[in-house]
Amino acid sequence: DAKTTQPTSMDCAEGRAANLPCNHSTISGNEYVYWYRQIHSQGPQYIIHGLKNNETNEMASLIITEDRKSSTLILPHATLRDTAVYYCIVRVGVYNQGGKLIFGQGTELSVKP
Amino acid sequence: DTAVSQTPKYLVTQMGNDKSIKCEQNLGHDTMYWYKQDSKKFLKIMFSYNNKELIINETVPNRFSPKSPDKAHLNLHINSLELGDSAVYFCASSQRSRISGANVLTFGAGSRLTVL
């Protein structure tokens, strides 16, 4: 079972910031939060990950709350090409000992003109 | 250069046939995965291999047999195909960062299997 919960869908106006929330209240102290997205008919694409500190890269920013129980992915200037399903993921189990990234339902983001 | 490549991209076959999907990664990663995405769009992990050793097997019917001849390849063979096997199958690879411990997956473009 996925360890994260996300809204099913969100809309965003083109050019505006898209803020996608995620709850991961059972995350353990050393687990990263990963964000991926899947544009229709393509393979999932890595966006960003974080542990405790906020992170930024060329695609997005990740804001993690101090208690690490939730995070927000920010696309600063959404474009129509950002329309996709966004997945917030936390590892279940130990890497190389059966640990795995389980994808939940994700948030379907629609960027509108 | 495609990092994770899958072949074929599309596969249409009859029930009862046996088919294979091949996956290759040129990223030097030590772990490879197969995920299945059904018509409801849920991505479910099926198998994972680390250094050619099977480490994840998610209650997948034994008609599905993964094979990893080396770290760069993970193939999926499916026997006696059923209608319910129709889905998009994604291969992925990863390497845990020795510095941060993070594990980022790189996915292939997917192989759409249609069983008639």
CA distances from A21 to A62, A63, A86, A88, B68 (A): 10, 9, 10, 9, 37
pLDDT of residue A98: 55
Question: Chain A: nearest CA to B32, how far in angstroms?
Answer: 11
Are A34 and B96 a contacting pair at CB < 8 A?
A: no
Are A45 and B90 a contacting pair at CB < 8 A?
A: no
Least confident of A2-11, A46-55, B55-64: B55-64
Cα separation, B80 vs B43, whole angstroms: 23
Residues of B with CB under 8 A from a CB of A: 4, 31, 35, 41-45, 48, 50, 55-56, 90, 92, 96, 100-110
Backbone torsions φ then ψ of B87, nearest 5 degrees: 180, 180
> Which of B59, B107, B30, B84 is closest to A96 using CA atoms?
B30
pLDDT of residue A97: 58
Q: What's the average model confidence in pLDDT over B76-105?
A: 90
- Please report residues of B whose CB lies closer than 8 A to that of A101: 45, 103, 105
Side chain identity at A64, as an amino acid letter?
A: I
Of the segments A101-110, B14-23, B33-42, which one has the largest average pLDDT value?
A: B14-23
CB-based contact, A102 to chain B, within 8 Å: yes
Q: What is the pLDDT of residues A42-99, one digit of tens each?
A: 999 999 999 988 999 999 999 999 999 999 999 999 999 999 999 999 877 665 555 6
Residue from the list B45, B90, B107 with its beta carbon closest to the beta carbon of A102: B45
Q: What's the average model confidence in pLDDT over B76-87?
A: 96
pLDDT of residue B1 exceeding 80: no
pLDDT of residue B39 exceeding 90: no
Q: What's the average model confidence in pLDDT over B39-48?
A: 87
The DSSP code for A5 is B
Half-sphere exposure for B81 (CA within 13 Å, toward CB): 21
A42-45 long-range Cβ contacts below 8 angstroms, 24+ apart: A42/B109, A42/B110, A43/B4, A43/B90, A43/B92, A43/B107, A43/B108, A43/B109, A43/B110, A44/A87, A44/A103, A44/B43, A44/B90, A44/B92, A44/B105, A44/B107, A45/B107
Whose tokens are 């290759």? That residue is B24
pLDDT of residue A94: 64
Q: What's the average model confidence in pLDDT over B82-88?
A: 95
Do the Cβ atoms of B13 and B19 come closer than 8 Å? Answer: yes
Are B103 and A101 a contacting pair at CB < 8 A?
A: yes
pLDDT band at B4 (very low <50, low <70, confident <90, very high): very high
Q: How many residues does chain B have?
A: 116
Are A98 and B56 a contacting pair at CB < 8 A?
A: yes
CB-based contact, A42 to chain B, within 8 Å: yes
A107 CB neighbour count, 10 Å cutoff: 21
> Which of A14, A43, A107, A59 is closest to B105 using CA atoms?
A43
pLDDT of residue B100: 75
Q: Going by DSSP bridges, is the β-strand pair B10-13/B111-115 parallel, antiparallel, or unpaired?
A: parallel
Cα separation, B9 vs B112, whole angstroms: 6
**For testing the chain B interface, which of A41, A51, A64, A96 should be mutated: the one with the most B CBs within 10 Å?**
A96
Looking at chain B, which residue has its C-alpha nearest residue A106? Answer: B42
